[in-house]
Amino acid sequence: MSNRGRMSGNEAVALAIRQIDPDVIAAFPITPSTEIPQFVSRFKADGLITTEFITVESEHSAMSACIGAEASGVRAMTATSSAGMALMYEVLYVAASDRLPIVLAAVNRALTGPININAEHSDSMGARDSGWIQIYSENAQEAYDNMLMAHRIGEHPDVMLPVMICQDGFITSHAIENILTEDDAPVRAFVGTYEPEHHLLDPETSVAIGPYGVSPYVFELKRAQAYAMECARDVIIDVAKDFEKTFGRSYGFFEEYRMDDAEFAVLLMGSAAGTGKVAVDRLRGRGVKAGLVKLRTFRPFPADALAAALSGRSGRGGRDGRGGTLKSLAIMDRSEGFSGFGGPLGAEVRAALYGRADGLKTINIIYGLGGRDVRVEDFEDLYTELDAMQGMEARDIPYVRSLGQREG
């Protein structure tokens, strides 16, 4: 039975961790994810979990401890943000290449420098090619639900990859929201137990985890990782279907909001989607055919499903509908790619659309860096810009521009 309450995104993730009761959590505090291990340590002190809680001297050590635990055949989790994730980068690759389905609660925060503690996607985007599955949350509800699905996805025998559940720092992690949570017993039944085929402490089978990769084998190992990431697409959808059947809330690779007949749309990840939806509703009330696509799964990137939805063809993975008459699209990045051509989301969406959405005009929008506010009015202005793009030649449309940047 669902329970209605109020809590922050960090509290929601910590509740999910308590209900899952993993074997090991190793963590080092860093704003704005610090509350998560703080809550977990309180659960441990109160006897509410059996988890072995390991306090370490750095985030690098936290991920290393999770790798050791998971390689020994038990379920391991951690949480981090910003520079803490950057300190983990080396061992993020180790976890993925060793095919260890660790779950990481990533509370997105700008990377230094300059020092900034507010919401930005530069930390997780820096790890986008590390081999981790990445799932993004709009609000506390999604952070909770995504956390409950994470182990089922990563531990699937066709996948065996680590999973990063992302939420925007302070905006989602600390804001109090209405949320539906579930009773402990059905959560534990849904998540299940972890029974890896091989692990270091198995007395019946000798196994090496993390050996030196000699040239005759590394290529094949990396391609096996890539194949596992491809398999994760089907697993993500199958787990979401089971989650909906069990708890009644539905998820896909992305959510389509009022896209059935949309002519102008924005595509983005994270908390700003809620603000964008308010703008869409206002514009619809004025007769503007506005829509919004919120990407949930960034890794594996759902290129085929996304291209199908944006080009008006039916595609697996959306939630509320499908695109139809879309004319122009703004792809919004809460991270600067320093490529001269925009952010990482813009690059990947445009690559997915190449040759599949003829006539669709696009612009990449960099927004919200360092926690800069994005308002409903900003979205409304952006839709006006998308409308004006229809009278422009594609070569005259800026490839990328900033939203909310002060002039001068």
> How far does the chain reach from its first CA to its final CA, in angstroms?
55
pLDDT digits (tens, 9 = 90+) for 285-341: 999 999 999 999 999 999 999 999 999 754 444 444 444 589 999 999 999 999 988
Question: What is the predicted pLDDT for the residue at 316?
Answer: 43
Find out whether 148 and 165 touch, Cβ atoms under 8 Å.
no
Output the six-digit token pair for 321. Answer: 């509908």
pLDDT digits (tens, 9 = 90+) for 141-165: 999 999 999 999 999 999 999 999 9
pLDDT digits (tens, 9 = 90+) for 229-283: 999 999 999 999 999 999 999 999 999 999 999 999 999 999 999 999 999 999 9
* Residue 257 burial by Cβ neighbours in a 10 Å radius (0-12, 13-18, 19+): buried
Residue among 357, 370, 378, 363 nearest 332 (CA): 363
Residue among 393, 337, 392, 391 nearest 365 (CA): 337
Find out whether 312 and 322 touch, Cβ atoms under 8 Å.
yes
CB atoms within 10 A of CB 136: 29
Question: What is the predicted pLDDT for the residue at 408?
Answer: 59
Distance of CA 62 to the CA centre of its chain: 20
Give Cα separations from 376 to 257, 281, 289, 336, 382 (angstroms): 16, 10, 16, 22, 10
Question: What is the predicted pLDDT for the residue at 325?
Answer: 85
pLDDT digits (tens, 9 = 90+) for 4-60: 999 999 999 999 999 999 999 999 999 999 999 999 999 999 999 999 999 999 999
**Confidence check: pLDDT of 343 > 50:** yes
User: Are β-strands 400-403 and 177-182 bridged in parallel, bridged antiparallel, or unpaired?
Assistant: unpaired
pLDDT digits (tens, 9 = 90+) for 199-240: 999 999 888 888 899 999 999 999 999 999 999 999 999 999
Residue 92: pLDDT band with limits 50, 70, 90? very high
Question: What is the predicted pLDDT for the residue at 394?
Answer: 87
Mean pLDDT of 368-375: 97
The pTM of the whole model exceeds 0.85: yes
Question: What is the predicted pLDDT for the residue at 211?
Answer: 85
The percentage of residues in the chain with a pLDDT greater than 90, rounded to a whole number, is: 90
Question: What is the predicted pLDDT for the residue at 384?
Answer: 97
User: Are β-strands 290-295 and 254-257 bridged in parallel, bridged antiparallel, or unpaired?
Assistant: antiparallel
- What is the rounded CA–CA span in Å between residue 205 and residue 202? 6
Question: What is the predicted pLDDT for the residue at 317?
Answer: 46
Output the six-digit token pair for 144. Answer: 């909770």
Question: What is the predicted pLDDT for the residue at 371?
Answer: 97
Domains of the chain: 2-247 (3.40.50.970), 254-403 (3.40.50.920)
Question: What is the predicted pLDDT for the residue at 323?
Answer: 40
**Confidence check: pLDDT of 172 > 80:** yes
Residue 113: pLDDT band with limits 50, 70, 90? confident
Question: What is the predicted pLDDT for the residue at 313?
Answer: 57
What's the mean per-residue pLDDT of the chain? 95
